Structure 1
């Protein structure tokens, strides 16, 4: 079945399904193929990771360590994986030769943020997703921008993206974390409601959008992870 048709059918099928049902079916759906969950282990990631652990602790989880993350994020990743008993967390890092060639001094983000994201996020993720037919993300419509019209299932080049939490609100996420007594990312309490790489993430004031601290002072709003015809490309409004 063509991916476009498959995506349309799944969006119709799950238009009234809750997040857990969408996630469970995505992992078991033979027509969708082999699926991995891609997680930043960021501010809200523990919700989807907990749901996954309740369904299948052996399901593959891809964590992209850009080598520029906060120390708190690296510690939190280990804490959450152990707390939830996740048995197949794959820690991915940028290609060593590429980093030494393109960003040996670690300052590429100052000159070209898109190029830095491509080097440290887009290309490593594309390689990590080889062999998978689709991937699960934690994106939500309330995050705004290009995410405001996100569907549950979307065609992404030759792969499918599944967004189980697409209709969840910030209040829903906080309630779930509280109800299940899940560990929170330590930086959230310090004013970081959206957490990326250390050089490109700042604190956010109470009156600001939660993602205002990402790439502050630039028109960049997404890291640029996207796929066309099976190849990784950079797009300003991709996710």
Structure 2
């Protein structure tokens, strides 16, 4: 991270933006961090288009970091390209894990089964740390209604010397759906097949209507997060 960035306190920003709209939070993030020091991190998953639409309306040139883990569905990669064109996103950066790391730690591509935390570390956490190195703040799409560790997230938090903005923290599921309808946003191709939350292929399964929307992630394991939101990015 550039050491010229003079960031305001996260707790003060959180208090000021506690009841702000997503667009107001993103606008405040640009002002607080600086246009050249802010990035968006998106999985281009089943709810990603709503956040990306709001971001594009504020400034379509804000860099968007996309973690191409090597295990993504082809439908997700195609959806990324669809949304880039539909929203006019001008700086989407697809970040991949290092080949040397994969060769050393996951040569047989079986780490997702034997140690999913380690798999997420080398395919998501470490690549994101590299990608965020030049930035003083980042935006993501977590929401409190997703439950689990996300149920009490603030709007703004400190993250390893950076500011982390959660502009959709207090938005409702209905409000997210309304953004899709109002903007005529295309859905993720897998959503109609029962994939309500989409990550890497080996660790994503369909979700029944009576389950939490993230129940299909790492099904049958105690794991509920990949690590990018539980490990500091410094």
Tell me if TM exceeds 0.5.
yes
Distance change (3 Å), C-alpha of 1:53 and 1:186: same
Alpha-carbon distance between aligned partners in 1 of 2:17 and 2:160, rounded to the nearest angstrom? 22
SS in 2 for 1:29: helix
Q: Shift in Å at residue 32 of structure 1? A: 9.6
User: Secondary structure of the equivalent of 2:163?
Assistant: strand
> Which structure's relative contact order is higher, taking Cα pairs within 8 Å and 6+ residues apart?
2
Matched residue count = 229
CA distance in structure 2 between the partners assigned to 1:154 and 1:65 by the alignment: 25
Worse-matched range after superposition: 218-227 or 35-44: 218-227
Residue 196 of structure 2 corresponds to residue 193 of structure 1: yes
Is contact 2:35–2:62 with CA below 8 Å preserved after alignment?
no
- What residue ranges of structure 2 are gaps of 5+ in the alignment? none
Kindly state the Cα deviation for residue 227 of structure 1 after the two structures are TM-superposed: 4.0
After TM superposition, the structure 1 = structure 2 runs for residues 86-97 of structure 1, keeping only pairs within 5 Å, are 86-97=89-100
How far off is 1:176 after superposition? 1.0
Verify: 1:127 aligned to 2:130, yes or no. Answer: yes
| Deviation string, structure 1 residues 2-23 (Cα, Å, up to 9, x no partner) | 96x7111111211231111111
Q: Distance in 1 between matches of 2:25 and 2:82?
A: 26
- TM-score normalized by the length of structure 1: 0.91
Of residues 116, 137, 142 in structure 2, which corresponds to 1:139?
A: 142
CA deviation string 1:172-204 (max 9, x = no partner): 111110111011101111101111000000000
The alpha-carbon deviation at position 160 of structure 1 amounts to: 1.3
Does 2:15 correspond to 1:7? no
TM-score normalized by the length of structure 2: 0.93
CA distance in 1, matches of 2:62, 2:36: 13
